[in-house]
Structure 1
Amino acid sequence: MAKENKELTSEQQKELLGTLIARFEKNMNRHEGLDWADVVAKLENNPDKLWSLNEMEATGGEPDVVGFDSETGEYIFYDCAAESPKGRRSVCYDREALESRKKHKPENSVMDMANAMGIELLTEEQYRELQELGKFDLKTSSWVQTPENIRKLGGALFCDRRYDTVFVYHNGADSYYAARGFRGALRV
């Protein structure tokens, strides 16, 4: 997934921007009052962010604009796939958890993958904001940023939506499941 050259070809940029604008126009409820022309101008001036969005897309995240931070002038993208991104499942929480496993280690960890992609793991608050825009993770679950005091004790947090309610759970940080991945956020 991580590449030496974190730039897209002009063809890749064109394809990604086409995908993003189609998603933007299809889901206007996620970004009311925002103009695609402003978003694309920011993206074209930040090729590293475009590369990160491409990584989100390539792993099944279906990134979309979910807000604008007027203080920083940044557009905010979240993974908006209906279920936890398929290309980011079966991973434990972080490098420490990965290295602590004696048997059946997963191929990667959430924090390593997010870092390689240039994105941040959603916080619990961001996950709840996402759920206000639609119904996500009805069959899967997604790791979220875990407070240091919980992580120090070996745990990590994940969320899902069941019974029309968003739930936050805990698990050992070294656990991994085929139905649990992670969702990211990117500021541009």
Structure 2
Amino acid sequence: MSEERRRIRAVYTASTITVYQAYAPEIGVPAVREGRFPAAWKRDRMTWIKPSFLWMMYRCGWGTKAGQETVLAVEITREGFEWALRNSCLSHFAPELYADREAWQAQVRQAPARVQWDPERDLDLRPLEHRSLQLGLSGEAARRYADEWIVSISDVTPLAHEIHALVKGRDLEAASRLLPREVPYPAGDGLLAHLGGV
């Protein structure tokens, strides 16, 4: 895997970035209604956010997997997102980035966020050559995410189902037109250097 393939692609504005999560309706529905996660959402567990819509579709089966029926687009501040990246480490040992396994384990123990670079997906959810960012938030990062960074929460389950129906009908051109327009995120100032990204 070359470094060039580890790039964040996302929908973003000057101040926000959109990430995706999927939950059971008892979490997802009130989150959309209130614009914040309900009390049932556990701040003491790691939560994974994904800037890639299609990777989220791969993970939740287009919103059909049990406990992932409500697909959320969560718009958060870029300031918060970048804080999480700066305070993250890889979820696996990479010898080119850490002096040794012990140094990586020390980072894992103290970092409130984890990064995984997983294969991006096409409309048929097959793996592609380039990688997609998964950002795991725990402890302080999860609390900040839930309580400080969220700008809005939208239910994109109908969009997921509409695109999936077009894919099943093999109208890939129409499906592609409905996808969120994800472009390379401006990760300047070495934001991803410690994570092997560009």
Structure 2 length as normaliser, TM-score? 0.28
